[in-house]
Structure 1
Amino acid sequence: GGAAAKARSSLKDKYVSLLKSKGNWSVGKPADAADATSNDAAAAAAAAAAASSSSSSSSSSSSCLGVTLERACRSFSRARVAMDKTKGFAISAKIQQALPSLLERVMALLNKTFITTVKRGDRAAVTRCLRAYTYIDQTHTAEEVLREEVVTPILNVTVTKAHLVRAQQKQQQQQQASLAKKPQGAAQNMDDLDPKAKKAILVLPLDLKELSAVAGKASSLDALFQLTLQALKTACGPALEASVFPFTAFHFTARSIAHELLPAIVSRGSNQLFAPYIPQRFLAHYRAGRRLVSGLEALCPDDARAKTFADTPALAQFDDKWNLPVYFQLRFQEARKALEDAVRSPPSLTDQDNKMSPPSSSPLALSATRAVWTGVLRCWREDVWVDRLTHRFFKATLQLLKQYASWVSLGLGPPPPLERAGLSPPKHERKRSTASTQAGGGGKWSSAEASSLRLVIAVEKDIQALCSNVRHSLPGTIVGCVCGGHDGGAGGDAEKKRTQATEMVTSGLSGVIGELERAGARAREVAARRIALACTKNLVTEVPRIKQRYSMTGNAPPSTALAFVQSILTPLREQLEDDDDDDGDGRSKSAWLVSRVADLVTDRYRVAVSDLLAVVQKTEAILSRLKKKKGRAKGTGMSDADKIRLQLFLDVRRFAEDLAALGCADDTTKALQDLVQLPPSIPKPP
């Protein structure tokens, strides 16, 4: 202390005598400023001399040295400020020449003291060193010194080319032999290490030789990364812990650790480390790298420095090495190839026991349906999905579902033309059918497949089950992947994010659900029209024969419905029985089929009855004119026309009863029953 005071007093006297020798410096402010400059410079020199003396003394502690260096840097800072106020004076020029050598001496001592205190884990001394760096605006020097003296030696014994290659080989062997009991890429657990290895990683000062041996035994790439990260956290921990507020100018994570660690992995890693051509291996490496980045981000003391870390060029270079687009294409090709193989082969119902069938509340009958659902789920599996490819996997999901909907629509073709059943479809429907035929010529199923009613019904059921899965279970699967990393936040925020994500996913799936529903509607229409054609096959020939039965035959008036009426709905009944045999509840699930077939058959029946009644009325009018011209009186019995009307009434009533037995509404046949109402002259049968 006495030596420092004496040196300061000597320097001050020297500078003051120089000032007094200048006769024109008698003004108060310049003289005061110059005096302040000389005082601060002398104080800085004295403190530096004291620091040098402390560093050379073995009895001086690092804490005392830190205090001395802090005082020296503070004095140096004041001297530099005073220099700015006295520019242009001769004394300032002399002091300016002395400051660089003084700064060099202080920085050499400060850097040495900083590294020594960091390695010893003395946080209080590290804090004083950081304050000293701040005084002289040398924060970047502290970051550089920590990188060169602490980080680089650790990386030279852990992240070596040999260790990286060995860790990859061990991981591949575990994958091939299925020996890994943990999920792929599970983080390294420090509890799995022996006490000697723990000491090499967690206890200061680090033993680099032992650390190298521990890194060489890493069982996977992720294990090597986590061991390295933990060693860096231990070694740089005092500096990281001390760099909290107000020392926010120090970016040790971004500029000391990540600046050296990430480029080392890029330069020393083999080609296989970043190669995406084996997706399973690439995903394990990528997730190990992402966990490493997350661990580095966790070392940042606050959000501002976390943002600096996110913007660092080293991280950008590291992220660019992962060829995620190629990985996605390989994964998408796996799912798409399975679907294309399924739709390329003829659709059949003989593969119910296929192992591809995913768990679902509704079984999927066709291999193509199972392939598309399996492909969709594959996109969101834990061993496939990547967070940064979420938008691509969602787009792939939509493409797979749209491809399936297109396959169904083109395969079924347009519904059978209603002209075959004696009905003319509306003009807009006729145009749509023509366009569908032209568009679907290349993908249409063979005539045998397309004409299989059982296959069409199975397609309709599969589409219903697929729509239900996409609408109810798929959003939860996607949101579970996307929001899986938000569990660490507040409960309300996490729930809000999940709700928003669910709304977005549901909105995005609404379009493809509409396409699936339209494909299902086409399948239902095709199935209903085919059954309707089978139901009306005899109807279109038997109804006109009623006129032949009673015209000038003398047959007695009818009392029961004709036999063909009972067989009109036989194809529909058989289909409903098949549905009951398949799932035990086919009648309730096929209500749409009963309703649509009933409408089609009723319309066809109404057209046939209307045509017959028109002919009967014309014939009756002609006979009435002939009798009137010949002067013949009307017969007392029932006329042939009334017999025909009575027969139609009995037939339609029986048809309505059969429809009611199948669960159809009463108003289904109202128009038909109104058409065959008996005139008052004919007694209504019981």
Structure 2
Amino acid sequence: MSPTEVASAALPGANRHKSVSALFGDDADSEPLWFKKDTFAKADFDSEAYIRDLRRFVAFDTLRTELRGHLGALKNELVELINRDYTDFVNLSTKLVDVDGAVLRMRMPLNELRARLVTVRESVHTSLAALQDGLKRRADASASREVLELLLDTSHVVSKVKKLLVELQSFPEDGAQVPAQGDSEGKVTRAYSNGNIAGDAAEHGASLEDARSRLLERIASEMNRLKFYVAQAQDLPFIQNMQPRIGNADVSLDASLRRCFEGGLERRDDTVIYHCLRAYAAIDNTAGAEEVFRSAIVAPFVQRSVPPSPARDTVGASADKLAEVFDEIEVHIQTECQFLLDKAVAANSGLHVFDFLSNSILKEVHSAIQKGKSGAFSPGKPAEFLANYKSSLKFLRFLEGYCQSPAAVAAFRSQTAYTDFMRQWNLGVYFTLRFQEIAQSLDTALSAPTPSPIHVGSSRAADGSLGLALQSSVTLWDCLQRCWKEGVYIEAVSDKFLRLTLQLLSRYTTWLSTGLAARKAGNATSHPGGEWALAAAPEDFVLVRHDVELLVGMVKGSYMDHVLPLLSGNNSEEVCEVVRQSLLQGAEALLAIVPALSDVLTEALTEKCVEVLRQVKGIIATYRMTNRPLPSRHSPYVTSVLQPLKTFVEDERFAHLTKEIRAELILSVSEKITVTYDVLARDMVSVARTTESSLQRLRRGARQRGAGAGTETNDNNISDNLSDKICAQLFLDVQEYGRRLAALGIAAADMTAYTSLWQCVAPPDRQNVVEF
């Protein structure tokens, strides 16, 4: 049978048809997306689980069809593989001869190899376990040896320290020179030295104190080494049993080192001081050296400068002043502490771990002031408190002068002594007292029932500025300046003083706004604090406006130039810009009230002038009730229309006003009066012409009746025309009104309202040219 026949026989009819369809590209029987062939090739494939999962959304018939189709496809692939290697497949049976024998022959050496490998692996495991056990025992032995060596070293160092302390105690307590070997005191020298440091020092003619300081430095070095050993094995019983001996040695060393350091400080012995400081640094007891320096050198002169209790002659106003005290202490520091401070900050000295400035000097000064001048820290007397605070800052800057770098200054300021000293100055309470003092003065001035004008020429503020007209404005300017005066301002609370400055401006602005609102409402019931505006005369508001504009100008000018330099020292440009914007914002909020202030006076003056202007209505009655001829001169009321405005401008009480304010006020009032004048004139002309039209109708009717009766009636000429007479009178009045405006500096021809008024009453031939 040929390969094709074998393949054809292996295919069932349906599958044969399906393969033929696939051959010709018919994909009608393509597999659905839910049927995954790769699932059958998985090692953990479970047919029951597979069918259970698919039955939820696939019918059994459909699943059976797909599986049979897949089976047919697999058989097709098998046939294709057989056809591809058909020759090898046919010859496979001929080549598989004595397969079992071959398998047995290959299995024997493999089994032998496996046995050997198992034996080798067991041997390796045994050797590895033995090696690991040996390494562990070796590590334990090494650790035990290290502990033993540590204990031996500790014991050796303890013995060495004890020996050195005994040698230290053999030194005489006086500061006599150790004689050189071979002199009359050679035996004593050998008794003390015995080949040790004291003997070496004696050979060079050094003093006993020098030798003692060297020995103390060596003991301190050994103590440092001992503490290192103890820290590593502090839980061991041996170390715990030695703790009393170590503690006694530490106490003995500290006492001896303290005496030696005190003696070196008293004699200003640089060598002794240097070795003692190195000893203190070696045992990490910098606080001990700082305390010795404080008690031996600093405390005596500080207590002389600041006695524990005030002396009788200092009790009184100057009892708590610190300026002279700090000056005296600075002199003592320069004469009695300079040598040690210079040594501590010297380059490559190894003594930078000591902080004598804060832990010795500043700490002692702070303690002495607390005991002898405790009132100096009390902010109850702000002036004295500020003077003492500034003196203390000056003293701190003096101490910072001994720092060699900005980093050293920062380290000095971070010390606990510095922080405790600065914490004594309760700047918050001081500012509260200043706040109450400044704010109360402004509130008192603003609570006056009416604005209090001051005399011309007396509105000179503290800095010499001129022009303020009201006492409340002068008080505000004085309060604003006091916030930044040298005797009030403190840089540490500059943010609080800035806030107070803005609050003062806001308080004054609110005072004005409340007053304007109360005056507009006609009562102060809903606007408490605005009573002053109801009691004030309208003319007072122009003084308020003048002060507001002047204050705004000074805040934006000289005031800001004074404040910003005070803040620029320790603040960035961004902060200064924020401060400048805040002041400008406060000034602008105050300036925004100016139009409302101007309206109060403008309306009052306009009302007075309009009250006189209403007399113009009498012209109609005059010419209606009488048969007067055409007018030849202006009416008497015109001369009085602008008289209230003129009186106000010439009043000496308002000499504070600038030319700009006067010109603006005159122009504003004149425009309002002229607008009212235009309305009244147009109403009069309209009424006159309406009345004239009615009279003409009545006259025509009378003539008709007279003609029917045989009587004659004469027409009135232009001089008897009511509207012409009224217009002629108004024209004369408007001309005189224009001249009055010109006398006040107003160009009437440039005013729209006056031009409209002129065109309403002027004859036809003079409509386009305004001349008077």
Q: TM-score, normalised by structure 2?
A: 0.62
Separation (CA, whole Å) in 2 of partners of 1:300 and 1:53: 41
Percent of aligned pairs with the same amino acid: 26
CA distance in structure 2 between the aligned counterparts of 1:83 and 1:446, rounded to whole angstroms: 85
Q: Shift of the alpha carbon at 1:359?
A: 4.1
SS of 1:537's equivalent in the other structure is helix
Structure 2 CA distance for aligned equivalents of residues 572 and 87 of structure 1: 101
RMSD: 4.8
Partner of 2:648 in structure 1?
Answer: 575
Aligned to 1:526: 600
- Displacement of 1:528 in angstroms is 1.8
Of the candidates 262, 265, 269, which is equivalent to residue 118 of structure 1? 265
**Residue 476 of structure 2: aligned partner:** 372
The residue correspondences of 1:229-244 to structure 2 (distance < 5 A) are 229-232=330-333, 234-244=335-345
| Residues 79 and 338 of structure 1, relative CA distance in 2, 3 Å threshold | closer
C-alpha displacement of 1:266:
1.7
Return the structure number with greater relative CO, CA threshold 8 A, min gap 6. 1
Q: Which residue of 2 aligns with 1:191?
A: none
Does 1:467 find its partner at 2:552?
Answer: yes
Matched with 1:684 is 766
Code of the aligned partner of 1:134: A
The 2-side partners of 1:240 and 1:684 are apart by: 100
Distance 1:663 1:123 in 2: 90
Q: Any idea what the Cα deviations from partners look like across 1:395-415, whole Å, max 9, x if unmatched?
A: 444455555555556667766
CA offsets per residue over residues 576-624 of structure 1, 9 Å max, x none? 33369936x8544412211221222122223212322432454455457
Kindly indicate whether the alpha-carbon contact (under 8 Å) linking 1:258 and 1:315 is maintained by their aligned counterparts in 2: yes
Q: Among 316, 324, 328, which residue is 1:227 paired with?
A: 328
The aligned counterpart of 2:50 is none
Structure 1 partner of 2:486: 382
Aligned-partner residue type, residue 297 of structure 2: V
Q: Which whole-Å CA distance do the structure 1 matches of 2:742 and 2:631 have between them? A: 23
Q: Which has the larger radius of gyration?
A: 2
Counterpart-to-counterpart distance in 1, 2:434 and 2:661: 37
Deviation at 1:341, TM superposition (A): 5.5
For residues 394 and 75 of structure 1, do their structure 2 counterparts lie closer, same or farther at Cα, with a shift above 3 Å needed?
Answer: same
1:243–1:301 contact (8 Å) kept in structure 2 = no
Match of 1:255 among 359, 364, 383: 359
Q: Secondary structure at the match of 2:641?
A: coil
Q: Indicate if the aligned counterparts of 2:213 and 2:260 stay in contact, CA closer than 8 A.
A: yes
The question of 1:598 aligning with 2:670 is answered yes
What's 1:673 paired with?
755
Matches within 5 A, 1:404-553: 404-405=508-509, 433-434=520-521, 437-440=524-527, 443-445=530-532, 450-451=536-537, 453=539, 455-479=540-564, 486=569, 503-510=577-584, 512-514=586-588, 516-518=590-592, 520-542=594-616, 544-551=617-624
- Structure 1 position 680, deviation (Å): 11
Secondary structure of the residue aligned to 1:266 is helix
Distance 1:507-1:142 versus aligned 2 partners, 3 A rule: same
For residues 500 and 37 of structure 1, do their structure 2 counterparts lie closer, same or farther at Cα, with a shift above 3 Å needed?
same
- Looking at structure 2, the residues matched to 81 and 393 of structure 1 have their Cα atoms a distance apart, in angstroms, of 55
For residues 54 and 615 of structure 1, do their structure 2 counterparts lie closer, same or farther at Cα, with a shift above 3 Å needed? Answer: farther
Aligned pair in 2 of structure 1 residues 297, 367: CA closer, same or farther (>3 Å)? same
Which position in structure 2 is the counterpart of 1:150? 297
The answer as to whether partners of 2:613 and 2:641 remain within 8 angstroms in 1 is yes
For the Cα contact (< 8 Å) 2:462–2:478, is it kept in 1? yes
Query: Any unmatched runs of 5+ in structure 2?
Result: 1-140, 179-205, 705-713
Q: Deviations over 1:520-579 (max 9, x none)?
A: 44442222222212222221221x233345558665555665443344223223333336
Amino acid at match of 2:480: V
How many residues of Structure 1 are paired with residues of Structure 2 in the alignment? 584
Counterparts of 2:363 and 2:653, CA distance in 1? 69
Structure 1 residue corresponding to 2:722, chosen from 622, 640, 650: 640
In 2 relative to 1, CA 340–468 (structure 1 residues): closer, same or farther, beyond 3 Å? same
Give 1:317 shift: 5.5
Q: Which digits, 9 at most, give the CA deviation of each residue in 1:303-358, with x for residues without a partner? A: 66655655666556555555555555554555455556655375454655769853
Q: Distance in 2 between matches of 1:165 and 1:283?
A: 24
* Residues 346 and 445, structure 1, Cα contact 8 Å, conserved in 2: yes
Q: Take 2:459 and 2:693, find their aligned partners in 1: how far apart are those partners?
A: 71
Alpha-carbon distance between aligned partners in 2 of 1:528 and 1:570, rounded to the nearest angstrom: 14
Task: Determine if contact 2:633/2:732 at 8 Å carries over to the other structure.
Answer: yes
In structure 1, the residue matched to 2:123 is none
With over 3 angstroms needed to count, the CA separation of the structure-2 counterparts of 1:32 and 1:451, relative to structure 1, is: closer
SS of residue matched to 2:766:
coil
Matching residue of 1:565 = 638
What residue in structure 2 maps to residue 136 of structure 1?
283
- Cα offsets for 1:446-480 (capped at 9, x unmatched): 97x62363x44433333333333333233344445
**8 Å Cα contact 1:251/1:305 also seen in 2:** no
Decide whether the 8 Å contact of 1:678 with 1:684 is kept in 2.
no
**1:58 corresponding residue in structure 2:** 177
Following superposition, the deviation at residue 681 of structure 1 comes to 8.4
Q: TM-score, normalised by structure 1?
A: 0.68
Distance 2:459 2:729 in 1: 57
Match of 2:684 in 1: 612
Residues 627/53 of structure 1: CA separation in 2 closer, same or farther (3 Å cut): farther
- Tell me if the contact between 2:459 and 2:474 (Cα under 8 Å) persists in the aligned partners: no
C-alpha separation in 2, matches of 1:569 and 1:153: 86
Correspondences of 1:68-87 after superposition (within 5 Å)? 68-78=215-225, 80-81=227-228
Q: Which moved more, 1:532-541 or 1:617-626?
A: 617-626
Contact in 2 for aligned 1:580/1:586 (Cα 8 Å): no
**What code does the residue aligned with 1:538 have?**
V
1:159 paired to 2:306: yes
CA contact (8 A) 2:609 2:644 kept: yes
| Contact 1:275 1:282 (8 Å CA) reproduced | yes
Q: Choose 595-604 or 520-529, whichever is displaced more.
A: 520-529
Contact 2:303 2:368 in 1 (8 A): no
Corresponding residue SS for 2:651: helix
The code of the aligned residue for 2:531 comes to K
Equivalent-residue separation in structure 2 for 1:350 and 1:331 (angstroms): 26
Q: Distance in 2 between matches of 1:127 and 1:599?
A: 92
Q: 1:362 to 1:406 in 2, by over 3 A?
A: same
User: What is the rounded CA distance, in whole Å, between the counterparts of 2:587 and 2:410 in structure 1?
Assistant: 40
1:430 aligned partner? none
